[in-house]
Structure 1
Amino acid sequence: MSEIGVRPAEVADVERVLAFWRRAAEGTSVSDDVPGVAGLVARDPGALLLAESAGELVGTVIAGFDGWRCHLYRLAVAPERRRQGVATVLLDAAERRFVALGGRRADAMVLRRNTLAGHAWSANGYGPQAEWERWVKPLPR
């Protein structure tokens, strides 16, 4: 297995990331389009982290910090690279980013039906918080 490097995404990576998510991510987001991902990269340049091995994109995670809470989204690993430590490398990088920004606790959005992801999150020290549930409202575009 080649060494895995992690770097922040750039606007030039947006199309590549979207194609990767269609192949490797579970579920879709209302923001899974060029304006959504490019807007993330422009607003918070260090938030979208890419894991690469020998020039190939093998994983992603969004490590967003709003000054109050540390949020993790879109942890995705290439199907052929799962169970090889890619998620751990990405989460380590995200957690280092949070600590450097003054974050105190990270939370992750994990689809209930995605049991494979649940195993990855659990293996990295995360667990569901039973006393909370997510409420959402789509905003007009």
Structure 2
Amino acid sequence: MDEDLGNRADGLRIRPADERDIDRVLAFWREAAEGTSVSDDGAGVAALLARDPEALLLAERDGVLVGTVIAGWDGWRCSLYRLAVLPSHRRRGVSRALLAAAERRFTALGGRRGDAMVLDANERAHRAWEAAGYAPQPEWSRWVKSLTG
């Protein structure tokens, strides 16, 4: 899908990723994202795109990838992951624009609440999420089990 999800006067364009973007997204995350995920490889991103082709949103300015967010919808929850902005483009509204596009997607799908996965130690991310209206939900903890080994 090549539909723009948002164009701004400053040239920022938001669109869903496709298979051609996988290598570029992985390289971007190595530079701009905090931490790593077990799914940060070609197979993981390809599986995401196959399952939910509009979930991975890219922000581009003048053809340069400057931000990403995964806006996953499983029919029950609206889950946000991998919000990342190129360091040289931070504090320019990129994350706010990505989250607005994700929230529009969720609303159109019938979602009721966005849930974000945010690293506890990533203070910069806490400020960005708070500025966008999100807050930690202290009564919940994430429980995980590795399925790969």
TM-score between the two structures when normalised by the length of structure 1: 0.98
Superposed displacement of residue 140, structure 1: 2.8
Task: Report the Cα distance in structure 2 between the residues aligned to 1:97 and 1:3, rounded to whole angstroms.
Answer: 21
Task: Report the Cα distance in structure 1 between the residues aligned to 2:87 and 2:60, rounded to whole angstroms.
Answer: 14
Structure 1 position 87 matched with structure 2 position 87: no
Match of 1:119 among 123, 127, 136: 127
Q: Percent identity?
A: 67
Runs of at least 4 residues off by over 3 Å: none
Match of 1:132 among 122, 129, 140: 140
Q: 2:36 corresponds to which residue? A: 28
Q: Could you say what the CA RMSD is over the residues aligned between the two structures, in angstroms?
A: 1.0
Gaps of at least 5 residues in structure 1 are: none
Superposed displacement of residue 122, structure 1: 0.2
Gaps of at least 5 residues in structure 2 are: 1-8
TM-score between the two structures when normalised by the length of structure 2: 0.93
Moved more, 96-105 or 1-10: 1-10
Equivalent pairs, count:
141
Aligned AA (1:116): R
Cα contact 1:61–1:76 (8 A) shared by 2: yes
Structure 1 position 42 matched with structure 2 position 50: yes
